[in-house]
Amino acid sequence: MISEKMKAFVEGSSVIRAMFEEGKRLASIYGADKVYDFSLGNPNVPAPKEVNEAIKAIVDEEESTYIHGYMSNSGYEDVREAVANSLNKRFGTNFNATNIVMTVGAAGGLNVILKSLLNPGDEVIAFAPYFGEYRSYVGNYDGKLVEVSADTEHFQLNLEEFEQKITDKTKAVIVNNPNNPSGVVYSEETIIKLAEIMDKKQKELGTEIFLISDEPYRELVYDGAVVPWLTKYYNNTIVGYSYSKSLSLPGDRIGYLVIPDEVVDSEQLKSAANVATRILGYVNAPSLMQRVIARCLDVEVNVEPYNKNRELLYGSLKEYGFECIKPQGAFYLFVKSPVADEKEFVAAAKKHNILVVPGSSFSCPGYVRIAYCVSYATIENSLHGFKELAKEFGLI
Amino acid sequence: MISEKMKAFVEGSSVIRAMFEEGKRLASIYGADKVYDFSLGNPNVPAPKEVNEAIKAIVDEEESTYIHGYMSNSGYEDVREAVANSLNKRFGTNFNATNIVMTVGAAGGLNVILKSLLNPGDEVIAFAPYFGEYRSYVGNYDGKLVEVSADTEHFQLNLEEFEQKITDKTKAVIVNNPNNPSGVVYSEETIIKLAEIMDKKQKELGTEIFLISDEPYRELVYDGAVVPWLTKYYNNTIVGYSYSKSLSLPGDRIGYLVIPDEVVDSEQLKSAANVATRILGYVNAPSLMQRVIARCLDVEVNVEPYNKNRELLYGSLKEYGFECIKPQGAFYLFVKSPVADEKEFVAAAKKHNILVVPGSSFSCPGYVRIAYCVSYATIENSLHGFKELAKEFGLI
């Protein structure tokens, strides 16, 4: 009796989420310390102490009907102002409260902006490998996701193919920097070229093409990598952010959209985002967490635990003969499967209680994603299994 | 550049929300105590102290990655179990965790269930007067909202017209009990008749018709009124609930759906609701608030402040000659406009800094909604203005 659209979704339901459920099942059989669940980007690093301190201070100091009440659908004015100021300080931009829409995480933000922009049949371009949920989000508004195949050499953007795939139906382009699942940071050089192509195509086709930058991993970078701030390179840029990864708050569902004044018809788009927040049933981003964010904008993000994990896992896998690009951001390794059908490798790994996600979930078959946002001990204890796998597949 | 669908939404944007923004503007000019903002169902009663105590206890006692982390898209297993047990205790039902989906408020829950059920062109019946957002929610999934006109005598359900409007395209029926905006509680007699008609029509048409019961005001009842628990009367019933009103947590966005095993294809529908929660970008109901709810299921809801407001406002308006049914639930009065075009009355009221919402926003023109979830002082201070209005319109 469920809708036709949902039937397909339920059948092909998220492999990542299925893995997460499988991990819980295996843990109940073998014990949590004997299951190496690398399936989900669920940060193992606790939220910084400032978050819980802010929560307690807010419920003690602020008025209940304010903390827990309705506000404008786009969020508390003072929180939006604080977010704008924080961005201005970091990126030399000139945003104010009206440029910010507080959202139910980055997923909520992407849905709000896609609902605001897409007419049925509009095309949205994404670069493989990409977070599989983009396909659902675009499909929610009857848009069509157009895929640019992966640059499996450097995992930057395949810009030649990109240019060919822009049509008069292209309404938006999604980039995810640092990238899930590859962990790669798109360089300034890549972004400049991307912007040039989009500017050129806008003129050529007489259309407006929106660049949607999905940046939940912005602060999770290593080796001094710099993530370009995209509104500086291309006018029709909208940024989506989430505190899920930087402050380890994925369950709390808090993030924001930036809609700069430079975006075409920006006033109308801001209104649409406000209304979309309401009618999609979010109504507003969770109020208490909005107030928490206002107090935690300067909290330093601790990437060291992830960096330690990255070094150990990357070093070990390379030693065992696996092929993998060294990620500069996020908390994922995207490892080449030693066998063409990576699902075979995923199944073999599961026999060692190692859960990883097939690359086909990110439109990049032949690879697997390993989310290393787990405890250091989990990585240490999993290494034996990875070594066995390397032997099984003839890498050592 | 925004989507065609959104253009219409932005233009005809929520009158209620526009009033809320207007109230904030007027307050900044005249001072908050000189503006009588009855526009929004934003509870003035603070959240019970147990809520803030639970928040503090949770951040002190529970593990950070658990409080703030991802869980299954349908919510924490233990929270869902606790909600199910609490319902079983109250209503003699037999639910377990799998029957509960934690949602981003009732609005999130309605979107999840409508996304799960509707194919384009499917009809959803609502009884006027109804919360105008139902139209947006049904429209999100290309459903068609079919309206049953108001029973302006008792504000129960116009069941004769209802029966005529059921077709082979009818996929769902939404009831909102106690009702926003009338404050009426649909009686058991009404519900039994409703269920009989739906059962009969299902057989006649060979279809399945879902009854969606939207119950954010369930606990807000007066004079000993009893709100029937609908899953007992009709098998294909889904209940949507929110803690926005009962615990004064509208900004926190926390509620749940109940999908009983008696619903046709219930396993498939539960899976669809789980997936819809994810792909609509909610991902999950806010995690910290889920944990709070588990600790606050037995908190007594304090309706006395609303009851005091109701008595004063209802009594005074009747005294001034206004026509109004005495509400038994929620925190709204639905008052007959003294002039046919109620927007004229709304405009006149605004001149007295009294903000009320036209009934046409609830598909029931000729009435206005007064949300009395404000301070007692606001009501006291507004009475002079209401009396002046009664004089202006010749009621006294």
93-122 in B: which are within 8 Å (CB) of A? 104-105, 107-112, 115-119
Residues B141-174 have pLDDT tens digits of 999 999 999 999 999 999 999 999 999 999 999 9
Residues of A in contact with B67 (CB under 8 A): 47, 251
Residues A166-225 have pLDDT tens digits of 999 999 999 999 999 999 999 999 999 999 999 999 999 999 999 999 999 999 999 999
Give yes or no for residue A124 having a pLDDT over 80: yes
* 3-class state of residue B139 by DSSP: helix
3-22 in A: which are within 8 Å (CB) of B? 3-6, 9-10, 13-14, 17, 20-21
Residues B251-291 have pLDDT tens digits of 999 999 999 999 999 999 999 999 999 999 999 999 999 99
Query: Half-sphere exposure of residue B203, counting CA atoms within 13 Å on the CB side?
Result: 5
Q: The domain at A4-48+302-392 falls in which architecture?
A: Alpha-Beta Complex (3.90)
Give yes or no for residue B96 having a pLDDT over 90: yes
Give yes or no for residue A16 having a pLDDT over 80: no
**pLDDT-based confidence at residue A9 (cuts at 50, 70, 90):** confident
Give yes or no for residue B14 having a pLDDT over 90: no
Q: Which residue has the tokens 């509680």?
A: B185
**Intervals of CATH 3.90.1150.10 along chain A:** 4-48+302-392
Interface check for B319 against chain A (CB to CB < 8 A): the answer is: no
Residues A325-346 have pLDDT tens digits of 999 999 999 999 999 999 999 9
Give yes or no for residue A39 having a pLDDT over 80: yes
Cβ-Cβ pairs closer than 8 A, A with B, add up to 256
Cβ B148 vs Cβ B170: under 8 Å: no
* DSSP H or E stretch at residue A160: helix A159-165
A2–B136 CB contact, under 8 Å? no
**Token pair of A281 as six digits:** 């049933």
Residues B307-359 have pLDDT tens digits of 999 999 999 999 999 999 999 999 999 999 999 999 999 999 999 999 999 99
Total count of residues recorded for chain B: 396
The residue type found at B291 is R
Residues B209-236, mean pLDDT to the nearest whole number? 97
**Intervals of CATH 3.40.640.10 along chain A:** 49-295
* CATH number belonging to domain A49-295: 3.40.640.10
Neighbours of A280 (CB within 10 A): 24
Number of H helices, E strands in chain A: 14, 13
**pLDDT-based confidence at residue B139 (cuts at 50, 70, 90):** very high
Task: Name every residue whose Cβ is closer than 8 Å to that of residue B91 and which is 6 or more positions away in sequence.
Answer: B229, B231, B232
A55–B52 CB contact, under 8 Å? no
Of B6, B210, B276, the CB nearest to A6: B276
Task: Name every residue whose Cβ is closer than 8 Å to that of residue B167 and which is 6 or more positions away in sequence.
Answer: B123, B205
A71–B251 CB contact, under 8 Å? yes
d(CA B206, CA B169): 11
d(CA A7, CA A26): 27
Q: Counting Cβ atoms within 10 Å, is residue B244 exposed (0-12), middle (13-18) or buried (19+)?
A: buried
Average pLDDT, chain B: 96
Asked if the peptide bond before residue B129 counts as cis, ω within 30 degrees of 0, the response is: yes
Residues B44-60 have pLDDT tens digits of 999 999 999 999 999 99
Residues B348-375 have pLDDT tens digits of 999 999 999 999 999 999 999 999 999 9
Residues of B in contact with A273 (CB under 8 A): none
User: What pLDDT is stored for residue B363 in this prediction?
Assistant: 96
Cβ A225 vs Cβ A310: under 8 Å: no
Distance from CA of B340 to the nearest CA of A (A): 30
Cβ B284 vs Cβ A244: under 8 Å: no
* 3-class state of residue B305 by DSSP: helix
Give yes or no for residue A50 having a pLDDT over 70: yes
Integer angstrom CA distances of residue A239 from A85, A329, B204, B279: 15, 18, 52, 20
Residues A144-172 have pLDDT tens digits of 999 999 999 999 999 999 999 999 999 99
Q: ipTM greater than 0.90, yes or no?
A: yes
Q: Counting Cβ atoms within 10 Å, is residue B89 exposed (0-12), middle (13-18) or buried (19+)?
A: exposed
**pLDDT-based confidence at residue A10 (cuts at 50, 70, 90):** confident
Q: Write the Ramachandran bin of A160: left for phi over 0, alpha for psi from -120 to 50, otherwise beta.
A: alpha
Residues A288-318 have pLDDT tens digits of 999 999 999 999 989 999 999 999 999 999 9
A208–B1 CB contact, under 8 Å? yes
Which residue, B105, B101, B279, is CA-closest to A17? Answer: B279
Interface check for A145 against chain B (CB to CB < 8 A): the answer is: no
**Token pair of B131 as six digits:** 């919360």
**Token pair of B212 as six digits:** 């969606």
* 3-class state of residue B103 by DSSP: strand
Give yes or no for residue A371 having a pLDDT over 90: yes
Residues B169-199 have pLDDT tens digits of 999 999 999 999 999 999 999 999 999 999 9
Q: Counting Cβ atoms within 10 Å, is residue B307 exposed (0-12), middle (13-18) or buried (19+)?
A: middle
User: What pLDDT is stored for residue B87 in this prediction?
Assistant: 98
Interface check for B47 against chain A (CB to CB < 8 A): the answer is: yes
Which residue, A324, A386, A375, A320, is CA-closest to A353? Answer: A386
Of A51, A73, A105, the CB nearest to B283: A105
User: What pLDDT is stored for residue A14 in this prediction?
Assistant: 66
Interface check for A52 against chain B (CB to CB < 8 A): the answer is: yes
Query: What's the order of all strands across the beta sheet hosting A123-127?
Result: A100-103, A255-258, A237-242, A210-214, A170-176, A123-127, A144-148
Cβ A222 vs Cβ A185: under 8 Å: no
User: What pLDDT is stored for residue B291 in this prediction?
Assistant: 98
d(CA A121, CA A171): 10
B107–A268 CB contact, under 8 Å? no
Query: Half-sphere exposure of residue A266, counting CA atoms within 13 Å on the CB side?
Result: 16
A59–B55 CB contact, under 8 Å? yes
d(CA A261, CA A284): 22
Give yes or no for residue A241 having a pLDDT over 70: yes
* DSSP H or E stretch at residue A146: strand A144-148
Domain B66-295 matching CATH 3.30.70.270: the answer reads no
Interface check for B136 against chain A (CB to CB < 8 A): the answer is: yes
What's the whole-model pTM score?
0.96
